[in-house]
């Protein structure tokens, strides 16, 4: 008999079934939130993986289309590679949980989350986050939980917890907060320029609700939790540290790591490692742990100098940003381009505009989101960090960084009615030494403005770091962390926004959570830095969006027709619309509501297509002057084509003011002539005249 636990969470029932399914996993729960159902399991290998110096945690969020009553598209008719949403959910589950596993643990751990059914008002992503934590907590896998996660929306100025589908549609904020019993351990947000103070209030309102869920989880663990298993520790022995410090004293390590040039520092560390390897040549046990020991020695050195001496590796002040540079239009012929440089981090962003029909179609579990008009893609080639490796396509990190920048810019984009384009920006990482994702926010903002996209405000991003001591009050927040400070520090707190407020947050930490003073200080530091970047760097490169799109970008004409006339424009099997496209070289998209988008690069051809469509959908009126091409000649007159599929006749008596014996005396096939509509004849047909056209 399985055990069932229930609590009311944000007005809906959260139910956890233990020992009902997947009993061979180390820990498993069947999660129910409303009618959303997710199977969450935690498994660990019996032995550590050999030859690695990291904790091998894998998180999988598996979407099944049957969960929303759909059969997957395509020929294969089964789910393929993970969707972008699934990958982003993997990351948001991983980030708060990874710091709570032992740092010296080397057993493989996999957290699997299988979405079985979806209630659109109860997010399966949130259900999986809670389930992954509970499954791990009740398992025998070492884990310093429990943790809980809450989503927060902002509707009509009020916070809404775990918002429904309708509330998400109108919310000004999509905030996700994970907490331990004492502290906040993960923050992720997208927002419509929400002020910093309001964001902080939302974070700790979520933290408060998380405490109720944690108390609920503790009840489950008390009754169902397994004793945690012992494991082989891979911590570096203290005696090895002692021997290393005899050979390489602390002051020598400080000299090696404290430089503003990444390549110089790496060369210094390589020489230190070689020196130690020679010294330990006869000690295989020490050699096996040498790389990890040198890493830990660097980490201790950097942390001590920052925290105690307020000295950063490149000599900057604690709140100082690295040298900045920005420029636009460095790439010819593209629709928009910009480059943003911060120290040894450099991003080039290219913007591309296209008709709305080029928007990305989404086939996922969210029935409300079927397409994506704005796409931000981020690339991270090996040369950007001075390495060589083959490109295997974007990994989870690249997808995550692209989504973060995309989320930061969506709030300032013009509506489709204001700017009827699909938009793609691509951030190419030319050089990387810390916080490329936020550099790509800056570069993308400028690239969009250079492309003539009328964004509502410029957006900048910056990252704050953290070094902590032995107590909660012993810490230092760093502005604009470089790679070394990210690797050896405790936090990467990325915040993007405008002058008005925050548009995106992503917080990664390596410790067991942050206190409110740390979060408030980090948000204040990023606000100050963001304002400086917007005013002193980006605005000097490009202050506002260009008034129109560039010469190589497609132009778009929007028009509205009677939906009943769509068939006339399209024609039988698309014959009419294809004829217009072939004649003018434009791209035409027609929506079911009668919205017509004409896209091209030559305004004359676009205007010609617009006139042809207008002729097709407008009934002829007496006195209307038109231009038509002779497509057929009969004894009694000539037939003219005014637009594909739209023809009329000029009687022989209406061709010329002089008497003619036959039509061919005046007209030949292909002639283009002006005519005036005379109205309908006795049979109800429209007739036209050439001779009555006003001179």
Q: Is 512 helix (H, G, I), strand (E, B) or coil?
A: coil
Closest CA to 140 of 227, 261, 74: 227
Which letter does DSSP use for residue 538 in this model?
I
Q: Are 231 and 107 in contact (CB under 8 A)?
A: yes
Please give the structure tokens belonging to residue 651: 């009687």
Whole-number Å distance between alpha carbons of 646 and 568? 9
Q: How are the residues of the chain apportioned to helix, strand and coil, as percentages rounded to the nearest 5?
A: 35, 30, 35
Phi, psi at 443, each rounded to 5°:
-65, -40
Q: Are 329 and 351 in contact (CB under 8 A)?
A: no
Element (H, E) at 371: strand 371-372
Q: How many CB atoms lie within 10 A of CB 318?
A: 14
Instruction: Answer yes or no: are the C-beta atoms of 342 and 359 closer than 8 Å.
Output: no
Q: What is the 3-state secondary structure (H, E, C) of 218-275?
A: HHHHHHHCCCCCCCCCCCCCHHHHHHHHHHCCHHHHHHHHCCCCHHHHHHHHHHHHHH
Q: What is the largest CA-CA distance in the chain?
A: 116
Cα separations in angstroms, 477 against 112, 197, 358, 463, 525: 35, 18, 43, 10, 8
Q: What are phi and psi of 512, to 5 degrees?
A: -90, 35
171 close to 129: Cβ distance less than 8 angstroms: no
Instruction: Look up tokens 């009827």; give the residue.
Output: 420
In the numeric block, which tokens belong to residue 33?
């939130």
Total count of residues recorded for the chain: 695
| Residues linked to residue 679 through DSSP beta bridges, in sequence order | 687
Q: Pinpoint the alpha helices (H) of 98-237.
A: 124-138, 165-170, 196-224
On the question of a cis peptide bond just before residue 598, with omega within 30 degrees of 0, the verdict is no
The owner of tokens 């690239």 is 447
Query: Taking the alpha carbons of 594, 595, 600, 602 in that order, is the dihedral positive or negative?
Result: positive
Whole-number Å distance between alpha carbons of 302 and 295: 11
Decide if 586 contacts 556 (C-beta within 8 A). Answer: no
Look-up of token digits 């304002």:
531
Query: CA 637, CA 653: separation in Å to the nearest integer?
Result: 8
Count of CB atoms situated within 10 Å of the CB of 188: 24
DSSP 66: G
Which residues lie closer than 8 Å to 480 by C-beta, 6 or more apart?
316, 320, 321, 322, 342, 343, 434, 435, 462, 463, 464, 529
Pairing assessment for the beta strands 491-497 and 173-179 based on DSSP bridges:
unpaired
Is 309 among the annotated ligand-binding positions?
no
**How far, in whole angstroms, is CA 577 from its chain's centroid?**
35
Strands (E), 10-157: 12-18, 27-33, 36-48, 57-62, 107-117, 148-155
Report how far residue 52's alpha carbon sits from residue 419's, in angstroms, rounded to the nearest whole number. 51
3-state secondary structure 391-428: CCCCCHHHHHHHHHHHHHHHHHCCCCCCCCEEEEEEEE
Q: Report how far residue 289's alpha carbon sits from residue 51's, in angstroms, rounded to the nearest whole number.
A: 10
Question: Which residue from 150, 28, 194 is spatially nearest to 527, judged by alpha carbons?
Answer: 194
Where is the binding site, in residues?
486, 492
Q: Known binding site for Mg(2+): residues?
A: 486, 492
């Amino acid at each position: 008999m399985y055990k069932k636990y229930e609590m009311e969470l944000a007005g809906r029932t959260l139910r956890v079934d233990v020992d009902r399914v997947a009993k061979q996993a180390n820990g498993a729960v069947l999660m129910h939130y409303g009618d959303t159902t997710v199977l969450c399991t935690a498994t660990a290998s019996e032995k550590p993986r050999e030859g690695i110096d990291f904790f091998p945690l894998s998180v999988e969020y598996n979407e099944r289309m049957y969960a929303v009553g759909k059969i997957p598209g395509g020929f294969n008719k089964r789910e393929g590679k993970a969707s972008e949403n699934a990958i982003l959910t993997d990351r948001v589950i991983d980030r708060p949980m990874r710091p709570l596993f032992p740092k010296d643990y080397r057993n493989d751990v996999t957290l699997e989350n299988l979405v079985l059914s979806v209630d659109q008002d109860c997010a399966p992503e949130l259900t999986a986050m809670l389930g992954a934590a509970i499954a791990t907590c009740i398992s025998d896998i070492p884990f310093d939980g429990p943790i809980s996660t809450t989503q927060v929306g902002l509707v009509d100025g009020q916070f809404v917890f775990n918002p429904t589908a309708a509330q998400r549609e109108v919310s000004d904020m999509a905030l996700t907060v994970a907490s331990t019993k004492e502290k906040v351990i993960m923050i992720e947000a997208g927002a419509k320029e929400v002020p910093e103070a309001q964001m902080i209030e939302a974070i700790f309102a979520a933290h408060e609700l998380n405490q109720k869920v944690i108390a609920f989880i503790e009840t489950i663990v008390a009754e169902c939790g397994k004793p945690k298993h012992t494991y082989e520790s891979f911590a570096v022995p203290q005696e090895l540290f002692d021997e290393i410090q005899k050979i390489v004293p602390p002051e020598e390590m400080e000299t090696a790591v404290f430089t503003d040039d990444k390549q110089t520092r790496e060369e210094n560390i390589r020489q230190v490692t070689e020196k130690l390897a020679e010294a330990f040549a006869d000690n295989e046990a020490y050699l096996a742990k040498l790389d990890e020991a040198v890493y830990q020695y660097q980490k201790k050195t950097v942390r001590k100098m920052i925290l105690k001496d307020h000295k950063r590796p490149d000599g900057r002040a604690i709140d100082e940003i690295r040298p900045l540079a920005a420029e636009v239009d460095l790439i010819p012929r593209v629709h928009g381009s910009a480059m943003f440089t911060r120290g040894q981090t450099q991003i080039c962003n290219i913007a591309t505009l296209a008709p709305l029909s080029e928007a990305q179609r989404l086939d996922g579990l969210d029935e409300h989101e079927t397409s994506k008009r704005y796409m931000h893609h981020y690339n991270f080639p090996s040369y950007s960090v001075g390495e060589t490796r083959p490109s295997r396509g974007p990994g989870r990190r690249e997808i995550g960084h692209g989504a973060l920048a995309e989320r930061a810019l969506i709030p300032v984009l013009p509506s489709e009615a204001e700017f009827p384009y699909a938009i793609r920006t691509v951030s190419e990482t030319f050089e990387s030494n810390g916080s490329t994702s936020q550099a790509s926010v800056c570069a993308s903002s400028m690239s969009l403005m250079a492309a003539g996209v009328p964004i509502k405000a410029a957006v900048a991003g910056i990252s704050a770091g953290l070094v902590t001591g032995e107590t909660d009050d012993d810490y230092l927040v760093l502005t604009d962390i470089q790679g070394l400070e990210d690797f050896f520090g405790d936090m990467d707190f990325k915040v993007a926004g405008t002058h008005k407020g925050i548009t995106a947050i992503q917080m990664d930490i390596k410790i067991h959570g942050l206190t409110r003073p740390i979060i408030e200080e980090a948000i204040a530091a990023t606000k100050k830095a963001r304002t400086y970047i917007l005013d002193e760097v980006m605005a000097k490169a490009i202050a506002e969006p260009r008034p129109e799109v560039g010469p190589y970008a497609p132009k778009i004409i929007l028009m509205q027709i009677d939906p009943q006339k769509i068939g006339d424009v399209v024609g039988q099997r698309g014959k009419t619309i294809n004829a217009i496209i072939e004649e003018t070289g434009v791209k035409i998209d027609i929506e079911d509501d009668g919205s017509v988008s004409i896209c091209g690069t030559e305004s004359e051809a676009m205007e010609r297509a617009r006139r042809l469509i207008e002729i097709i959908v407008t009934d002829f009126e007496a006195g209307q002057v038109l231009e038509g091409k002779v497509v057929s000649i009969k004894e009694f007159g000539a037939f003219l084509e005014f637009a594909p599929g739209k023809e009329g006749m000029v009687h022989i008596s209406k061709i010329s003011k002089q008497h003619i014996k036959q039509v061919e005396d005046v007209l030949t096939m292909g002639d283009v002539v002006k005519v005036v509509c005379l109205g309908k004849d006795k049979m109800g047909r429209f007739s036209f005249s050439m001779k009555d056209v006003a001179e």
